[in-house]
Amino acid sequence: MKRFTQLFLAAVFGGLFTVGLSQYFFPQSQEEFSLPTLQVQGQDRSLQNPPAALANYMTKLPTSLPDFTLVSEMSVNAVVHIRTKYEVQMGGRDRFLDDPIREFFFGPRRGEPQPRQREASGSGVIINPDGIIITNNHVVEGADVVEVTLNDNRQYEARIIGTDPTTDLAVIKIEEENLPHLSFGNSDEVRVGEWVLAIGNPFNLTSTVTAGIVSAKGRNINILGDMAIESFIQTDAAVNRGNSGGALVNTHGELIGINAAIASTTGTFAGYSFAIPSNIAQKVMEDLLEFGQVQRGLLGVTIRDLNSSLAGEMDIGINQGVFVVGVEDGSAAKEAGLKQGDVIIGIDGQAVRTTSELIENVGRKRPGDEVLVRYYREGKERETTAVLRNIHGEFAFITQHEKSILDKLGARFQVVPENRMQELNLSHGVQVTGLQQGKLRSAGIRDGFIITHVDREKIGSPEDLTRILKDKSGGVLIEGVYPNGTRAYYGIGMG
């Protein structure tokens, strides 16, 4: 018995000594701990009633998980539900209905076919207390009636202030005061990986909030067509039909984007959504409110993304930037000294790595604005200042009536370079560029055509062209010459 007692005491003191040494050499702090090992034999331990060791571990877990309750409460009342109504005419009347023999046997016709009404829905964001709302162009485009429902169920009929298909944005207004609203944040400061909330009305489920992170910036997904400005913020916050025009907000409750699209093969959310950056949205909104249309400043370059393959082919010493494929005569870029083969790497101190980033940065500007262009040429970084121009190659703003005429014609126009005028022995004329679908293309006119006369009147500038055409109706004769010297005449209809 005595021998057993001695062995027991030796084991106890030895164990205490060992523990003491371990605490001396390997002290545990309150912040650093390891997950305890649980011995569970033949039974199912539910986490709703964890063992003491696990419960102790869970009390040490960090408690700073994201909490979106406050920002949701701040934002949800500023996002509205938009319902639009469209009258769709029935198909043309069958000739059989106007046949007198049919009328003899079956009686007189019952009248004209009645139009059908189609409805759609989306979201919008109140951006000032007096009822100004920003949304997507595709939410309200062509609508006969636009109805807005606030989060407190008040309903209003809105009027469309203006739309811009090139950014898929629109501004509408309801007659009310002291409305809850969101303030614009700076989308340039948005960082990949930060938390964001998407707020809208998917599937007519009002006031829905989803959360995610910013997964990419400057995405171009080619959904808006020619002359589009696509530089989307990509997130994994769930967005579905009806979210279009809703808010993307940061954790401070600032509006950093307008939700516009999803990447999906089924038409429903499949992991990624896309929002128009707030810096673009704010500029478009201000232009629509002030001018009724967007004033677009243009640099006047044809561009493509630079990659390692192109860099190797062109013997360029960098792999990122925007490669200048061509420079338009009379453009801001030409006047600033940019050349084919240059690589644009920055605008106004902001790094530019892709074409979408360049288009976004320039797209925020108006004609007459100066931009500082940083570019790479012959192994050196250089800088130059360009003064942006309008689609005519001028510094003036474009009126809404001019834009309407240009939309019909489907082209841009620029002043003809002096050396080209001398080669063709011309004293006046404007050159067609950026030809799109419209009356000129339908008539057979091709890019580069120089218009010298419209109905025998001389054309010396783009302004002359829009001034002469603004009151025209019916057939119009256009005369001009191609750069190779071929003269041509075209007839178009203005209505």
pLDDT tens, position by position, 375-384: 999 999 999 9
Whether residue 34 lies inside any domain: the answer is: no
> pTM higher than 0.85, yes or no?
no
Domains: count for the chain: 3
| CA 219/CA 223 separation, integer angstroms | 11
Contact (Cβ atoms closer than 8 angstroms) between residue 413 and residue 436:
no
Give every CB contact of residue 391 below 8 A, 6+ residues apart in sequence.
296, 298, 398, 406, 412, 413, 434, 462
Sorting pLDDT into bands at 50, 70 and 90, what band is 95? very low
Q: Which residues are tagged catalytic?
A: 138, 168, 244
**Of 255, 286, 260, which Cα lies nearest the Cα of 186?**
255
| CB atoms closer than 10 angstroms to residue 180 | 15
Within a domain: residue 296?
no
> Does residue 320 or residue 433 have the better pLDDT?
320
409 and 376 within one domain = no
Q: Is there a domain that residue 442 lies in?
A: yes
Question: Does residue 141 lie within any of the structural domains?
Answer: yes
By CB neighbour count within 10 A (0-12 exposed, 13-18 middle, 19+ buried), where does 366 fall? middle
**Residue range 265-276, pLDDT digits in tens:** 677 777 889 999
Average pLDDT over the chain, rounded to an integer: 81
Is the pLDDT at 188 greater than 70, yes or no? yes
* Domain termination site, one of 265, 291, 317: 291
Shared domain for 84 and 221, answered yes or no, is: yes
Residue 19, in any domain of the structure:
no
Average pLDDT of the residues in 192-209: 91
| Segment 168-177, tens digit of pLDDT | 999 999 999 9
For residues 373 and 420, state if they share a domain: no
pLDDT at 25: 41
Residues 229 and 370 in one domain: no
Cα–Cα distance between 444 and 274 in angstroms, integer? 38
* Closest of 283, 287, 261 to residue 273, by C-alpha: 261
8 falls within a domain: no
Structural domain contains residue 32: no
In a domain, 27, yes or no: no
In terms of Cα–Cα distance, which of 291, 494, 473 is closest to 406? Answer: 494
Contacts 24+ apart (CB under 8 A), 381-384: 381/345, 384/336, 384/337, 384/338
Instruction: Supply the pLDDT for residue 107.
Output: 56
Above pLDDT 70, what percent of the chain?
79
Q: Please check the confidence at residue 212 and state whether its pLDDT lies above 90.
A: yes
Contact 239, 210 (CB under 8 A): yes
Does residue 195 share a domain with residue 176?
Answer: yes
Residues 6+ apart with CB under 8 A from 290: none
282 and 338 fall within a common domain: no
Please indicate, yes or no, whether residues 375 and 441 belong to a single structural domain of this protein: no
Are the C-beta atoms of residues 258 and 234 closer than 8 Å to each other? no
Average pLDDT over residues 106-128: 76
406 in the same domain as 451: yes
Residues 100, 238, single domain; the answer is yes
Cα distance between residue 337 and residue 344, in whole Å: 12
CB 221 within 8 A of CB 99: no
Find the CATH number of the domain harbouring 265.
2.40.10.120
Radius of gyration over every alpha carbon of the chain, rounded to an integer in angstroms: 33
* Residue-wise burial string across 288-311, b where 16 or more C-beta atoms lie within 10 A, e elsewhere: beebebbbbbbbbbebebbeeeeb
Q: Are residues 350 and 287 located together in one domain of the fold?
A: no
Per-residue pLDDT, averaged over 144-149, amounts to 95
- Residue 465 is part of a domain; what is its CATH number? 2.30.42.10
Q: Which of 387, 411, 442 is the last residue of a domain?
A: 387
381-409 pLDDT tens trace = 999 999 999 877 778 787 766 777 777 88
Contacts from 359-363 at CB under 8 Å and sequence distance 24+? 359/229, 359/230, 359/231, 360/218, 360/229, 360/231, 360/277, 360/279, 360/280, 362/297, 362/298, 362/299, 362/388, 363/167, 363/229, 363/231, 363/280, 363/283, 363/296, 363/297
Look at residues 330, 361, 387 and tell me which one is the last residue of a structural domain: 387
408 is written with which tokens? Answer: 């019909």
Lowest mean pLDDT of 236-240, 423-427, 471-475, name the range.
471-475
Question: CA separation (Å) from 145 to 83, 124, 139, 159, 368?
Answer: 8, 15, 12, 8, 37
Same domain, 329 and 421: no
How does pLDDT run across 457-494, given as a tens digit for each residue? 898 888 788 888 877 778 889 999 999 989 999 988 87
Which residue do the tokens 């200048």 mark?
324
Domain encompassing residue 228:
71-291
Name the band, by pLDDT with cuts 50, 70 and 90, for residue 302. Answer: confident
Measured CA distances, 18 to 6, 11, 14, 35, 438 (Å): 18, 10, 6, 22, 89
Is pLDDT above 70 for 213? Answer: yes
319 and 286 both lie in a single domain: no
